[in-house]
Amino acid sequence: MAVRAVAWLHLWAATGLACTPASVSDAGFSKGIRTTCSEIILRHEVLKDGFHRDLLIKVKFGESIEDLQTCRLLIKQHIPTGLFVDPYELASLQERNITEAMMVSENFNIEAPNYLSEESEILIYARQDSQCVDCFQAFLPVHYRYHRPHSKDGETFIVVNNPDLLMYCDQEFPILKCWAQSEVGAPCTLKNKDTCQWKNMKYKSVNKNVTLRVPVGLTVHTSLVCSVTLLVTILCSTSILVAVFKYGHFSL
């Protein structure tokens, strides 16, 4: 019986079926690496009512990074033709340290209606959320453009697509390999125009896109609106002329 047991042990060792503690440990370690690839959650929402809105973007990392202070987050937001961002307003907000954003598009006309404008791009440097260790947020004011009047429906819709999420860290983290898809060149900071290679991150969005409802005029009201506008203009001009000749002092 003892001879048979020894023979079985020799056969087991020869066929490589013996399981060592190291192999069990390696398997568990590899499994642990796979499970650490958690998702980045992005929330895209619009605040306020009316023609002047605020675009708020919040980003939460599914897993803590060892030292998130060494990382910067850049949001590349595409602005559709139905919206515009006021560059003078951006400059004012930057002076008051409310937001950090820059316009990529050139020859930007804030007065053009939506049918004469083009899509634009905005780079927003997100800031860490003071109430969340692994969260970033970005803020951008947007405004509606004028739209063509419609024949039937008194409203139109603007779709704001989800942004591109770019990240740059001073040091490499293993978890970044789970999220990074490619590299994109962009300014390192708002004040430093040197180009850095940002990692384009994949994420999961809470909502697919943001849809805004915009009220527009009706073509059947064109004659009425033009007539009333012309009448008011004539009355106001006449009143101004009468006041000038009645109370004005003229010297030759």
Per DSSP, 134 falls in state: T
pLDDT for 83: 94
Task: State the Cα–Cα distance between residues 82 and 79, nearest whole angstrom.
Answer: 8
pLDDT for 200: 92
pLDDT for 105: 77
Calculate ∠ Cα 145-148-154, nearest 5°. Answer: 95
Provide the token pair at 200.
């384009």
Q: Within a 10 A sphere around the Cβ of 223, how many other Cβ atoms? A: 9
Strand ordering across the sheet containing 101-103: 101-103, 120-125, 71-79, 164-169, 195-201, 180-187
Task: State the Cα–Cα distance between residues 162 and 75, nearest whole angstrom.
Answer: 10
Q: Which CA distances in Å does 185 have to 86, 101, 166, 167?
A: 25, 16, 10, 11
pLDDT for 29: 30
pLDDT for 70: 79
Q: What is the mean pLDDT of each run of 10 residues along the chain (252 residues)?
A: 44 40 34 57 91 93 68 92 92 91 84 91 91 87 92 88 91 75 88 87 88 88 92 96 85 62
pTM of the model: 0.73
Q: Are 108 and 117 in contact (CB under 8 A)?
A: no
pLDDT for 14: 44
